[in-house]
Chain A
Amino acid sequence: MAAVNHWNTTQHLILVILGFFVAFAPRYLPIKIFTQRKIPEWFNEWMRFVPVSLFTALVVKDVFISATYQVDIMHHLPEIVAAVIVGFIAYFTRSMALSVVVGLISVFLLAMVL
């Protein structure tokens, strides 16, 4: 791939700086606000379900959703099968490293056959 973009370095730098602000604001503001005020207990109870919901949403996006935001199962068969394998590995070994390594190997091999 040749450099198809005609932007110069200054424009890239402006993009990086603006990108920093839009990435930093959602990272920082909730931490700043929610650590200063007294947070009602129900809010904390609610936030306890955020990790499992967010991680599931991220996995669904990776495994079932195409780049054009459509549900696509046929082209994701290697990922779907590998995801099931990873689920079992994670459940029985409880090892993060093993889950990642087995996941990479299985998706690599499955992509060749499926």
Chain B
Amino acid sequence: MTKQVPNPNEPKWRSTLRVSMPLNLSYIPIGLACGVLLHAAGFNTILTGLVSIVIFSGGAQFMIASMLTINAPLLSIVLMLFFLELRYALLGSSLSRYLTKETERFKFVFALSMNDENYAVNYLKFATDKKWTPREALMVEHYSLLFWTVSNLIGSLIGSALKIDLTVVHFALTALFLYMIIMQVKSRLTIFVGIIAAALAAFFLVLTKSTLGLVISTLIASFIGFALEHYLKTKKPGSRFLYKIHSPGSKEDAVEDSGENG
């Protein structure tokens, strides 16, 4: 992921910090903006810190802020949050094969601070780095949690003195996800699945008028990818769809390795 040569003697706290740093830095402007908005919605600083730790989701916290400013009732905010956070079920499901050897306590703590962004970082590490451990993944989660919470607290304290263009800072996360997509591309099939996923996402987001569309489109697109791969591998092993894509400057692609690392 980084161009530096890994130093085997580097302490874990530093190597994991290095891995999580791009994410940590993009959390600073977004966290500040989120803190400012929660302050404007009437949240005090302690509650802003609390919500950043226990919910730890940019999307959810922005939604709380905007729904409070339009005086939405409690139940409808919680219901919206539920639909918004439902996609976390996908993250847990796809990471679970790396967590089978962990204790129940570890899984609980790991789930507490898992979100889209640190999942993206950790999934890529699990897929490309055989030595990547759940413990290191948890450290990445906690670093991102720290940066997110502190940025929210500062945003809440500065309050409306700070003017942040939300559409601009939010693009940091869009860029992060774009990077992750590019790293996932390993064959023509992956590109095809991406195109299907894009079309389905637009369709279901407009249809459901909520982020539930993300969940539905992801489930369908990934299933189409799986079914197509299964069909091609058994019926047409020489298919052009399965051709590998070569990417410049990478010794190791973000190939999701097949099964052996249980």
Contacts and interface: CB of A to CB of B under 8 A. Distances in A.
A7 B178 contact: no
Contact of B94 (A32, A50, A87): A50
Interface residues of A, number: 80
Main DSSP-derived SS at the A contact region: helix
A7 B42 contact: yes
Given A19-B78, A61-B205, A111-B167, A95 B92 contact: no
Nearest to A99: B179
Interface in A1-34: 1-7, 9, 11-20, 22-24, 26-32, 34
Contacts, number: 313
A49 B178 contact: no
A22 B171 contact: no
Nearest to A11: B74
A100 B25 contact: yes
Interface string B123-162: 1000000000000000000000000000000000000100
Contact of B96 (A17, A39, A70): A39
Main DSSP-derived SS at the B contact region: helix
A12 B148 CA distance: 20
B15 interface: no
B248 interface: yes
B47 A9 contact: yes
A113 interface: no
Given A65-B202, A96-B1, A108 B168 contact: yes
Given A31-B96, A31-B99, A48 B223 contact: no
Given A50-B90, A92-B248, A97-B25, 12 more contacts: A1-B40, A15-B77, A23-B85, A26-B87, A26-B89, A27-B92, A35-B107, A46-B222, A46-B223, A51-B180, A53-B194, A108-B168
Interface of B: 1-3, 21-23, 25-26, 40-44, 47, 50-51, 54-57, 60, 64, 68-69, 71, 74, 77-78, 81-82, 85-97, 99-100, 102, 104, 107-108, 110-112, 114, 116, 120-121, 123, 160, 165, 167-185, 190, 193-194, 196-198, 200-202, 205-206, 208-211, 213-214, 217-218, 221-223, 225-226, 229-230, 247-250, 256, 259
Interface of A: 1-7, 9, 11-20, 22-24, 26-32, 34-35, 39, 41-42, 44-65, 68-71, 79, 82-83, 86-87, 90-97, 99-100, 102-104, 107-108, 111
